[in-house]
Amino acid sequence: MKGIMFNIFESFIIKNFNDEAWEEILEDSCVDETVFISPRSYDDNIFATLLNTALQLKQLPIEKTLVSFGRFAFSKLAKHSHHLVEKYDNPISLLEELDGIIHVEVRKIFKGAETPKFIAKRIDDENLELTYISKRNLPYLVEGLIYGLADYFGKDVSLKWEQDLENYKFHITFK
C-alpha cells in the first residue's frame, strides 16, 4: 500500500479524534514505521495492523469505518491529483474512466501502486454498474469512495452491491 494512503488515514484519525489518538495507534500497533512517505510502498499488513488497532482502541465497527474513510479519502485523492479529476463534469464519466485512465495515471505517478480493477457499464445518464476486482477485497472502502465522489460533484447517490464470486458488483444511481 502506498504511503499516501497511510498519510490520508493519519489525517482521517486526527480529524475524527486528535493527534494523540494517532500517536497511540502507532505505539499500540508496534510497527517499525512511524512516518510514511507518500510515493513509497509499504506492506499491506502494516495498514491492516494500524486499522485494526484504531478499531479496537476507539471501539469502531470495521464496515462503517471503511465507508467513512473511503468518503474522506476521495476528497484527499482528488485534491492531490486535481489534474486527473478536473476534466470530468459528472461522476459517471469519471467512473467509466477510473480503470482505463485515472488508475493508469496513478500507477505512473506512484511507481508500483497496486490499484484494483474496475469494469464500468453505463446503464443511462444516472445509473452505472461497476464491478470491483481486487485481491484486497475492500468493498466498503469502494462504497465510501463512491460517496466521496458524489460529494465532490454535489450529487445524491444511492447504491447497493453484491458479491459475485471473487468480485463485487455495485449498482449505483447518481441524481
Which residues would be at the binding site for ligand HEM (CB under 6 A)?
Answer: 1-2, 4-5, 77-78, 81, 84-85, 98, 102-103, 106, 110, 113-116, 134, 136, 138, 141-142, 145-146, 149
As measured in angstroms, the least distance from the Cβ of 117 to ligand HEM is: 8
Cβ neighbours of residue 69 closer than 8 Å, sequence gap 6 or more: 8, 9, 12, 141, 144
Place of cell 506512484: 110
Please, which residue, 81 or 90, has the CB nearer to ligand HEM? 81
What DSSP designation does 120 have? Answer: E
As measured in angstroms, the least distance from the Cβ of 18 to ligand HEM is: 26
Please, which residue, 27 or 162, has the CB nearer to ligand HEM? 162
Q: Phi, psi at residue 115, to the nearest 5°?
A: -85, 150
As measured in angstroms, the least distance from the Cβ of 78 to ligand HEM is: 4
Please, which residue, 8 or 25, has the CB nearer to ligand HEM? 8
Estimate to the nearest angstrom the gap between the alpha carbon of 68 and the chain centroid: 9
Estimate to the nearest angstrom the gap between the alpha carbon of 90 and the chain centroid: 19
Please, which residue, 13 or 142, has the CB nearer to ligand HEM? 142
As measured in angstroms, the least distance from the Cβ of 120 to ligand HEM is: 9
As measured in angstroms, the least distance from the Cβ of 136 to ligand HEM is: 4
What would the DSSP string read from start to end of 99-118?
IIIIHHHHHHHSTT----EE
- Grid cell of 126 as nine digits: 444516472
